Structure 1
Amino acid sequence: MKPKVYMAGFEVFRTDALEVGARMKSLCAEYGFEGIFPTDKDIRPQPDKLSTAKAIFEGNLRLIEKADLIIANLNPFRGQEPDPGTVFECGYGFGLGKKLYGFLDDGRTMAEKLSPGMDAETGLYEDGMSVENFGLPVNLMLAVPAKIAEGTLEDALKLARKDILEDEMKM
């Protein structure tokens, strides 16, 4: 049986999300995984926006529960940090004991990425707050539990595949 991968990320907001999800699932299959995309759930029509939001939320939780691991797009979304929904999905998956993987284009540390807005004397960011500086490319609450590939979904799939093969060899 193929390990199931929940693909968390902001791709769901694209106008071509279904096509992108299909390509991502195809790439998962090339690496021996069954891809699960957030749009893979059946949401019945709801009476209002809040009910629709709740149905989407609950559907995503069920998909994460079915997965063996999560691969998250940790690239900045509408700002300097990953999509907050993706971050929540990673946390939920971690709480369930799922293996976490991520990918991002820019592997520099947060301090390096934010340095243009930092005061050279104090090291504080332009908002007057300190910048997390543990040599990690994203917040430690993501970077510590996840294995992060600098690159694309494919790079994260390669990393996950390698880990699974190594785990199988130990058995």
Structure 2
Amino acid sequence: MNLPRIYLAGPDVFKRDYPQHKRNARRWCAELGLVALCPGDDEVVGDTRAAVSRGIFEINLALLDSADYVVANLANFRGHEPDSGTVFEIGYAIGRGKKVWGYNTPQHDLLSQIPQGEPGHCRDGMQIEDFGLPRNLMLAHSCELVDGDLSACLLKVARWHANRH
């Protein structure tokens, strides 16, 4: 039986300590009988920034396609929402029929997370969803939201996979 391949989505690739983060993720996965697929593993070269960015996009789609499951860091990134690239990867994975888990999800509902200008509206005047969910309803209903960090999420994935097989 092949070990389940887990695509690790999230803004972690932008961290200064991303190499250490990848080592930890790989170790945790290996201990749980999982294989980590980490964005940024492949060196992408090109003559232009556009060529490099296209190469990264294509490699990440190939990694997503080869994954059995996706684990996504849904922490706030540069504001009050998850990283837009991560959100795209979640949608892509769901569209491909893959199960997705999300971690680092805030413990409070969306309405209480976002500073309001007037009740129920952000400072830009846009209505804030009020369904009692910690993330936009499209994320909250498409992902299994895990209370905790990456290691807690990977443990949940490994247990789910073991119970299924």
Match of 2:140 among 127, 140, 143: 143
Paired residues of 2:73 and 2:102 also in contact (CA < 8 A): yes
Give distance in 2, aligned partners of 1:128 and 1:13. Answer: 30
Gaps of 5+ in 2: none
Aligned mates of 1:125, 1:79 — CA distance in 2? 12
Structure 1's unaligned 5+ residue stretches are none
Aligned mates of 2:7, 2:60 — CA distance in 1? 9
| Distance of aligned partners of 1:138 and 1:105 in 2 relative to their CA distance in 1, 3 Å threshold | closer
From 125, 130, 133, the equivalent of 2:130 is 133
Q: What's the secondary structure of 1:51's corresponding residue? A: helix
Letter matched to residue 22 of structure 2: G
Distance between the aligned counterparts of 2:79 and 2:111, measured in 1? 15
- Does residue 82 of structure 1 match 2:79? no
Amino acid corresponding to residue 7 of structure 2 in structure 1: Y
Kindly state the Cα deviation for residue 155 of structure 1 after the two structures are TM-superposed: 1.5
Matches of residues 143-162 of structure 1 in structure 2 within 5 Å?
143-162=140-159
Distance apart, 1:62 and its partner CA: 0.4
Deviations 1:65-112 (A, max 9, x none): 110000000000111111111111111111111110010152211012
Q: How many residue pairs were aligned? A: 164
- Write the mapping of 1:67-146 to structure 2, written as runs, cut at 5 A: 67-114=67-114, 116-120=115-119, 123-146=120-143
TM-score of the two chains, using structure 1 as the length reference = 0.90
Q: Is the 8 A contact 2:32 2:155 kept in 1?
A: yes
Give CA-to-partner distance per residue, 1:21-70, whole Å, 9 cap, x none.
11111111122110111012342x20000010000000000011110000
Identity fraction in percent: 37
Question: Deviations along 1:109-165, whole A, 9 cap, x unmatched?
Answer: 101212x42524xx2222212111222111111110100112101111122122212
Structure 1 segments of 4 or more deviating over 3 A? none
Q: Which amino acid aligns with 2:85?
A: G
Aligned to 1:24: 25
Offset at residue 16 of structure 1 (A): 2.5
TM-score (norm 2): 0.93
Task: Give RMSD over aligned pairs.
Answer: 1.4
